[in-house]
């Protein structure tokens, strides 16, 4: 990957998810700023482009994920999203709701922040559930039909949402909303740092939230 000042944060992270660590260490919030250029990042954080570039190159030279998403066929990519990401979110969401409810009930009188975590988490899980169903029942089938029609040179009738640009825009807005929710939880929990003396459920909640956070960022950024 050729890096220059116009390269965006999103392009760097797409090349290697490990590059997120570079931006985290620089204190750059890429949650909703994936389309920001490296030049803008340097200006915001007051760092040199050469220094940032060298650190990114070092990370990009490391072993990449085994998944070569950019070269996968659409049907394979969709199946992977549903089988891995969606199932993970569904399973872990219920666990997080359970943990956050217990922690809020037991420790909420002393740590008011856990009550806010519970509230944001419940809203996020509800939004993600609706979001994933829209993907599975409407958008993904349409993409699969498009790919199949192209393969046999058949013209599909225009869908009720007129153009794929419309649902894509909605999906992106919902992705941004989910990332913002995770950003809020991260800030409230001081990046999932537990205090001494808290119970194992408290520790499990924060550990699971951190993993959930990384999964959401990996898929949505």
Report in angstroms the alpha-carbon separations of 19 from 12, 48, 189.
7, 17, 23
110 and 83 in a single domain? The answer is yes
How far is 219 from 87, CA to CA, in rounded Å? 13
- Report d(CA 159, CA 140) in Å as an integer: 13
What is the C-alpha separation between 11 and 21, in angstroms, rounded? 15
* Same domain, yes or no: 147 and 82: yes
Same structural domain for residues 17 and 111? no
In the numeric block, which tokens belong to residue 3? 């890096």
Maximum distance among all alpha carbons in the chain?
Answer: 64
Residues spanned by the domain of 39: 9-60
Distance, C-alpha 56 to centroid of its chain = 20
Check if the beta carbon of residue 3 is closer than 8 Å to that of residue 200: no
First to last CA, the chain: 18
Q: Indicate whether 122 and 214 sit together in one domain.
A: yes
22 and 110 fall within a common domain: no
pLDDT of residue 38: 92
Q: Which pLDDT score is estimated for 28?
A: 75
> pLDDT 10s digit of each residue in the chain, 221 long?
789 999 998 788 777 666 776 887 777 765 545 688 999 989 988 999 999 999 888 877 765 555 667 778 888 889 889 988 899 999 899 999 999 999 999 888 888 899 999 999 999 999 999 999 999 998 888 888 877 777 677 666 676 666 667 778 888 899 899 999 999 999 999 999 887 878 888 888 998 898 899 888 777 76
Residues 128 and 208 in one domain: yes
pLDDT value, residue 13: 74
46 and 139 housed in the same domain: no
Q: How far apart are CA 179 and CA 220, in angstroms?
A: 7
Q: Is position 15 within any domain?
A: yes
Q: Is 89 left (phi over 0), alpha (psi -120 to 50) or beta?
A: alpha
How many structural domains comprise the chain? 2
**Number of neighbours of residue 46 by Cβ within 10 angstroms:** 7
In a domain, 86, yes or no: yes
> 27 and 110 share a domain?
no
For the entire predicted model, the pTM comes to 0.69
């Amino acid at each position: 990957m050729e890096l220059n000042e116009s390269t965006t944060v999103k392009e760097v992270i797409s090349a290697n998810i490990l590059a997120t660590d570079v931006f985290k260490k620089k204190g750059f919030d890429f949650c909703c700023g994936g389309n920001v250029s490296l030049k803008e990042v340097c200006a915001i954080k007051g760092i040199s482009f050469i220094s940032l570039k060298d650190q990114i190159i070092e990370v990009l030279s490391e072993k990449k994920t085994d998944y070569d998403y950019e070269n996968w066929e659409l049907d394979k990519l969709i199946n992977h999203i549903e089988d891995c990401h969606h199932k993970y979110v569904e399973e872990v969401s219920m666990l997080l709701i359970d943990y956050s409810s217990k922690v809020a009930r037991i420790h909420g009188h002393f740590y008011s922040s856990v009550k806010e975590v519970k509230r944001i988490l419940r809203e996020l899980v509800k939004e993600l559930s609706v979001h994933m169903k829209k993907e599975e029942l409407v958008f993904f089938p349409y993409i699969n039909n498009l790919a199949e029609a192209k393969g046999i040179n058949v013209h599909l009738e225009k869908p009720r949402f007129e153009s794929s640009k419309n649902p894509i825009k909605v999906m992106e807005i919902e992705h941004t909303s989910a990332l913002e929710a995770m950003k809020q939880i991260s800030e409230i929990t001081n990046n999932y740092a537990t205090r001494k003396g808290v119970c194992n459920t408290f520790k499990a909640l924060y550990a699971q939230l951190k993993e959930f956070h990384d999964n959401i960022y990996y898929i949505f950024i």
